[in-house]
Structure 1
């Protein structure tokens, strides 16, 4: 992805300087837009480099502060101001303060710089990067969906994207939800590109080869962990989580991580494991969690059991009488039992969690024993109840 900081690499912008918004230099530029009206909403989609030239500044109601404020609200990545006689001659302090506060890069360049050169160089740079991004996506989707794939093909294609298929590889997946509804959300292109760029930079700084792409509500990535310790990875994934939480607080995020695999036949397995981690997080309504497949415990066993009927029968045998009772009398015995077991059979903590009196908990537990003809003093009984509740939630 082409970032604001990459503008300094373009020969046509050799005289450009930045006067505010330095903390936003990581922002992604998807294209450029030369403003021809003070009203931007109709003409931009977010992620543009806004070029402010002579035409717009001579409009009757032009105000640089209000103009850039609207640009920021439309998720434009930065602004390039042409300065000089009959152009912008002075930058108000309020504009500089706004740009710094919103991390909105504000660049200046002499008015006589040929814009056609800027458009041409920027267009070529963005197109080249997009081509690499497309290769990332093609490689990842080939691994996931192509059943007739060869390792030689992958190695040949990966040469252009600086990725190695030698050694151990590992998939991870990032899922995004909307907080208000906890429904899946399709990422907008600007957020998606910015997050992907952060992830790439994070792993590249640790010399970890990475392929990444996004689709609908997820970002998927494949990393070469042949020379990477678990301790290093255990520091990187929380950094991704914290970055998204701080910079995109409008999303709920969960990260699923598959196991390390060394053969072409098993790469797809790592992806499927990462996806299973995401599915589990969604089922459990988890928020901003990191799941390693190899650490799922019993859930890993549930996923690996091909015959789901066995799981359904186990739940039925252990919980059917309680489910039927709850349904008939509109009670919450299974919920009470779940909280009681999760609180290590502590009556006081169970009562506090459910906001009901301790004696009510005792009565409900007594009813559970009577209905199921069991004793909660028995450790094996408690284990069966606990596992049945886990499987029930897993199967929902």
Structure 2
């Protein structure tokens, strides 16, 4: 459970806080209060902070306040609180309010008569309480998602006491934010960490907003680079909302990328673990097949569902090595062209001209490569049994967790 701006504005003793802009973003989760002492906040916050601006230790001109609003937006701060009174910041300029409203930055006015020590104490206490409740809720949901259930009745009783609505059947959505290593390559370790934190806050905030719009969805369970969401609405509506979320966020999160796997619907608490298993299989497919655009539902897996039922990974690896081993080895020794050729050939249903166009090569080159594949593997594309074996082996190869997703586009 997260403490939101709306929660803070409703705290006893803080009634004089006034929301001046960004009312639509009151559901922003607050990670911690931060009092800004410098002219800039960009290098001091990492996302989710409620930033307090006093003007006591640094003059706050209209230009500086506009800068802080823009930096709060850039760094995904939960909101900006500006203290006003006769001595330092007499009033908030209208341009600052308008900019905050335009950027979707919640802007709160706090009178100097309301002592900071009372504000930070109230927020700190509420944060600790929210974090304790949130940890209790997450631990209970993790027990159900991991299948660690000794007494379902006792867990449901505890869920009721924690305010967790578990009576509704759920669909499990599993998100993965991938690409942190690319951040380090692009920005270096320190900047990469700040960017990653801001990206996680942006995702958390956007997820919370979509879940509130869907209704009766439980707060996300965050596990490293994964977010698990238990959705209550219809499968079609869930997919539409979640796909829209990914399409909106991916350009903002680049070079990070968000992937999503969805389970089937109708999972009660006793089947949350099964639903998570389905969502994991769908997520692997979403990452492995670029044509799925980063989203896959379990009911779309087809033969992948059968492969996922094989628990002994070595059986699958041996099959791939038997069928595709010679061309994988050839690609490792030379330019890696045969496996992409194979992928393109199957993607275009054996149409050499279209496969050649997909790879940007001449049709004769495509024909030569397919003949070489047949020679190396001892298989024939005209033999239905050989085509089936190659197709299944290629499917397993693409699903390999040790190999990054490839595109034949």
- Decide which of 363, 386, 392 is 2:391's aligned counterpart: 386
* Alignment correspondent of 1:362: 367
**CA deviation after TM superposition for structure 1 residue 345, in Å:** 1.5
Residue aligning to 1:126 = 127
Q: Give the Å deviation of 1:367.
A: 3.0
Q: What are the superposed Cα offsets for residues 322-377 of structure 1, whole Å, 9 maximum, x if unpaired?
A: 34554566563333122112111122211112221111112222333344444423
Checking the alignment, whether the CA contact within 8 Å between 1:241 and 1:288 is kept in structure 2 is no
CA deviation after TM superposition for structure 1 residue 91, in Å: 3.6
Q: Select between 187-196 and 368-377 the one with higher mean Cα deviation.
A: 187-196
Give 1:67 deviation, angstroms: 4.8
Q: 1:102 to 1:311 in 2, by over 3 A?
A: same
Asked if 1:103 is matched to 2:107, the reply is: no
Question: Partner of 1:360: helix, strand, or coil?
Answer: helix
Kept after mapping to 2: 8 A contact 1:34/1:52 = yes
Pair 1:34-2:42 in alignment: no
Task: Indicate the residue corresponding to 2:226 in structure 1.
Answer: 218
The 1:355–1:235 alpha-carbon spacing in structure 2 relative to 1, beyond 3 Å, is closer
SS of residue in 2 equivalent to 1:340:
helix
1:252 to 235, 257, 274: 257
Give the alignment's TM-score, normalised by structure 2.
0.80
Question: How many angstroms apart in 2 are the aligned matches of 1:167 and 1:23?
Answer: 28
Paired residue secondary structure (1:79): strand
SS of alignment partner, residue 87 of structure 1: coil
The Cα of 1:14 is off from its aligned counterpart by 3.0
| C-alpha distance in 1 between matches for 2:218 and 2:289 | 29
Please state if 1:315 is matched with 2:320: yes
CA distance in 1, matches of 2:240, 2:134: 26
Mapped partners of 1:251, 1:231: distance in 2 = 26
Q: Distance in 2 between matches of 1:288 and 1:362?
A: 29
CA contact (8 A) 2:143 2:149 kept: no
Whole-Å Cα distance in 1 between the matches of residues 375 and 213 of structure 2?
61
2:118 matched to 1:113? no
5+ residue gaps, structure 2 = 185-191, 403-409
C-alpha change, 1:27 and 1:390, in structure 2 (3 Å) is same
Corresponding residue number in structure 2 for 1:178: 179
Q: What does 1:298-377 correspond to in 2, within 5 Å?
A: 298-327=303-332, 332-377=337-382
Question: SS state of the match for residue 182, structure 2?
Answer: coil
Partner of 2:9: 8
CA distance in 2, matches of 1:58, 1:181: 39
2:356 aligned counterpart, secondary structure: helix
> Any stretches of 5+ residues in structure 1 without a counterpart?
none
Q: Deviations over 1:252-287 (max 9, x none)?
A: 011112334656654322222222333343444688
Report how far residue 292 of structure 1 moved. Answer: 1.5
CA pair 247-3 structure 1, distance change in 2 beyond 3 A:
farther
Match of 2:259, SS state, is strand
1:383 aligns to what SS in structure 2? helix
For the Cα contact (< 8 Å) 1:65–1:95, is it kept in 2?
yes
Using the TM superposition, give the Cα deviation of residue 109 of structure 1 relative to its aligned residue in structure 2, in angstroms: 3.2
Residue pair 2:48, 2:201 contacting (<8 A) in 1 also? no
Q: Distance in 2 between matches of 1:324 and 1:274?
A: 33
Q: Distance in 2 between matches of 1:137 and 1:365?
A: 52
Aligned-residue CA RMSD in angstroms?
3.6
Computing the radius of gyration over CA atoms, which structure comes out larger, 1 or 2? 1
Of 210, 222, 226 in structure 2, the residue corresponding to residue 202 of structure 1 is 210
Displacement of 1:101 in angstroms is 4.3
